[in-house]
Amino acid sequence: MLKSESVIGNKRRRFEIVIESLIRVLGFSTIGFVVLIFLFLLRQGLPFFFEVPPVNFFGTRWYPTFGLFGTLPLILGSVLVTLTAIVIALPLGVATAVFVREIAPGWAREILKPLIEVLAGIPSVVLGFFGMNIVAPLVRTTLNVPTGLTAFTGALILAYMALPTIISVAEDALDAVPKSYRDAGLALGATKWQVIWRVVVPAARSGIVVAVMLGLGRAIGETMAVMMVTGNAARMPITPDSLFRPVRTMTATIAAEMGEVAQGSLHFHALFGIGILLFVLTFLINLAAARPIFQKRRRGGLR
């Protein structure tokens, strides 16, 4: 009796150990892959930084065929398009989140929330196509510019892509604001709008910052749609009208040129070098996004 029981016990324990180690391997492999990708990126990209003097790769001209690897127009192009996108998406996103969470009646919220999730699932190439055929001509005719493929067009499409992220994260942040704050505001004779604007939104501030940062992270890494609508001219976007002229982003450069570059050439390494810059940039943005969360945690719980 005792013996058979212990046999079952052993079998069970062995099964437990197998399952446990399987889960552990899977868990660690995820981290492993990220590390490997990063190492690969470094291996391919670092030579670029050693072979090309800083004056060249922080130069203002990107002409790989002539040995000019100035990444500045690409970096500034990415920054211009992304920041403009956020400037457009932030008020829209927060306003939508406020509407969905605070103002819309229950049934409308039930419809809107899944719809917003669906927005996030639209493939970027579809949005790029939409941008090329609808938005770009619209931008060209309304703003009366030579081409509709501009930084502004890219920013519009990117704003649209960042919206679902911003809305749903901001909405969660608003949702986490306790009802007791709203009650306190109403009991003081504030209107519903005053309570939203002066109590609820400020209380959700850190969550809204996270929402914007995540939106920013999504926007800066976006490739396909941006490549299709920004015109891809690697010019320095420093003139006042740059927003309404073509630009080229870091992501679009990698995607456009990787297919026709000779493996192992300097140009090849240069593209990976841009990849490293992009990686560092997104990493910094994500770090900034995580900071308010860590601060809250230290102060005792997310509110």
Partner 1 sequence: MSKFVVQNLNFYYGKFRALSGITLTILDRQITALIGPSGCGKSTFLRCLNRMNDTINGTRVEGKVLLEGQNIYDRRVNVVELRRRVGMVFQRPNPFPQSVYDNVAFGPRVLGMARSKSQLDDIVEESLRGAGLWEEVKDHLHQDALSFSLGQQQRLCIARAIAVKPEVILMDEPCSALDPIETLQVEELMQTLKANYCIVIVTHSMQQAARVSEWTGFFWLGELVEFDSTAKIFTNPSHPLTENYITGRAG
Two structure tokens written together for 259: 């297919």
Q: Please, which residue, 34 or 108, has the CB nearer to partner 1? A: 108
Residue 288's closest CA among 222, 223, 212, 221? 212
**Cα distance between residue 277 and residue 46, in whole Å:** 11
Q: How far is the CB of 174 from partner 1 (least distance, A)?
A: 14
* Backbone phi, psi, residue 61, to 5°: -125, 130
> 3-state secondary structure string, 188-199?
CCCCHHHHHHHH
**Contacts with partner 1 in 69-108 (CB under 8 A)?**
106
Q: Please, which residue, 182 or 248, has the CB nearer to partner 1? A: 182
Q: Please, which residue, 177 or 220, has the CB nearer to partner 1? A: 177
* Backbone phi, psi, residue 69, to 5°: -115, 40
Q: How far is the CB of 202 from partner 1 (least distance, A)?
A: 7
Q: Is 293 in the site for partner 1 (CB under 8 A)?
A: no
Contact characters 197-236, partner 1, x per CB under 8 A = -xx--xx---------------------------------
**Cα distance between residue 290 and residue 282, in whole Å:** 12
Q: Please, which residue, 61 or 303, has the CB nearer to partner 1? A: 303
Contact characters 143-162, partner 1, x per CB under 8 A = --------------------
- What percent helix, strand, coil does the chain show, rounded to 5? 80, 0, 20
Contact indicator for 179, 279 with CB cutoff of 8 Å: no
Helix (H, G, I), strand (E, B) or coil at 63: strand
How many residues touch partner 1 under the rule CB under 8 A: the total is 20
- Tell me the β-bridge partners of 199: none
Please state the separation of Cα 55 from the chain's center in Å: 30
**Contacts with partner 1 in 159-198 (CB under 8 A)?**
178, 180-191, 194, 198
Q: Please, which residue, 147 or 206, has the CB nearer to partner 1? A: 206
Q: Please, which residue, 120 or 293, has the CB nearer to partner 1? A: 293
Q: How far is the CB of 98 from partner 1 (least distance, A)?
A: 17
Which residues of the chain form contacts with partner 1 (CB under 8 A)?
A: 106, 178, 180-191, 194, 198-199, 202-203, 303
